[in-house]
Amino acid sequence: MRIAAFILLVGASASAGGQTLGTTPQQANAVWQMQDSGGTAGLRGIDSVDGNVAWASGSGGTVLKTTDGGAHWEKCAVPDGATDGATLDFRGVQAWDATTAIVMASGPGDKSRLYKTTDECETWVLLYKNPDSPDGFFDSFWIDPAYKGVLVGDPVRGSFAVFETSDEGITWRRDNSKGLKVGPKPIAGFAASNSLVPRFGAGYMHGFVTGGQGGTFLIHRWATKYWSRSEIPLGSRTNASGGFSLAYRVTPPPPCTDCAGPLYQFTVAVGGDYTKPNAPTGTAAWSSDGGKTWTASIIPPHGYRSTVQWSESLKLWITAGTNGSDICRDDGRTWQPLDNGNWNALSLPFIVGPNGRIAHLNPAALPKP
């Protein structure tokens, strides 16, 4: 969905060049340690490979890379820079190492594309261009370690545009399943943080979260080819509200002889209304059965949220949006505020936002349980 250019300037912000915010004791003890991105692009794509190697992407054809944990961010060559690459908004990125990555441009018609680099971002190859131009709009993609992946776009001709790959994104096949149809009231996706599709192995759950006037749903499938949908208590059934991000963690199921799927997934979805960043109602929900049924958070995040992630090492969830970030230690039930910064997307330990904002998580500054 075409998210409006809505930016709320809240809390401390980076300087025009994205410079680190000084070294005062207060800043040194901050949860998010600011880094220098070297630019002012609106950043919505971030993927940390191992905490040292990470890639970020955003407006104006921007793609960035670090190999030293963010001490230095390198500006990559602009995909299709000789033509219209500088007009593209790269709202998603996935990287395998310091050499190989795929970026997703989100835009109307043929402004939605996928590019791949295999030479440390010196050159890019166009992998896939929106086949529905002048309609369509890419929202989110992810490819699992087995090289199966999904690309989700806004509905076209009454159905969500869903494409699948089994060769690391080289070729894509449209899914024409009846379960992807929409209506009568419109629903769509939000290209806010490249996390409508959960970042995990596709062997667990194929799915994505939606929003809009028709309500918020997890559209998903398990081992079968049939898509089903579960309603999520997020947003307020308006064009600007719904689910913006989905993440889950898997716990080992007890011994069973007839397990139909990974039923022991704790799943968290976040969202709200991006035009009301300080409104906490309808901003988070959780599921303990892999997304089949949902419950609204008892104590929600303190505003609209566009990104959420589980940290296995820290044993907690982190979510963020345009008025700050929050943590949760009880699988989505209650959230505790972390900061009031302006953020778009997470890939721990990194977080990104508008005006070139990039920061690194400081675990020592997290509130104690």
Q: Tell me whether residue 5 is in a domain.
A: no
Please give the pLDDT value at position 250. Answer: 75
Can you spell out the DSSP letters for 69-112? TTSS-EEPPPTTTTTTGGG--EEEEEESSSS-EEEEE--SGGG-
Q: Tell me whether residue 39 is in a domain.
A: yes
Please give the pLDDT value at position 249. Answer: 86
Q: Tell me whether residue 12 is in a domain.
A: no
3-class SS at 25?
helix
pLDDT tens digit sequence for 126-141: 999 999 999 999 999 9
Q: Tell me whether residue 262 is in a domain.
A: yes
Please give the pLDDT value at position 116. Answer: 98
CATH code of the domain in which 358 resides? 2.130.10.10
| Residues of the chain above pLDDT 90, percent | 77
pLDDT tens digit sequence for 196-249: 998 765 444 578 999 999 999 999 886 567 899 999 999 999 999 999 999 988
Q: Tell me whether residue 16 is in a domain.
A: no
Burial class (CB in 10 A: 0-12, 13-18, 19+), 278: middle
Q: Tell me whether residue 259 is in a domain.
A: yes
**The domain containing residue 165 runs over which residues?**
25-365
Domain count for the chain, please give it. 1
Structure tokens at 60: 């104006």
pLDDT tens digit sequence for 161-203: 999 998 989 999 999 999 999 988 999 999 999 999 987 654 4
Lowest mean pLDDT among 34-48, 105-119, 257-271: 257-271
Q: Tell me whether residue 17 is in a domain.
A: no
Full-model pTM: 0.90
Q: Tell me whether residue 70 is in a domain.
A: yes
Can you spell out the DSSP letters for 43-55? EEEEEESSSSSEE
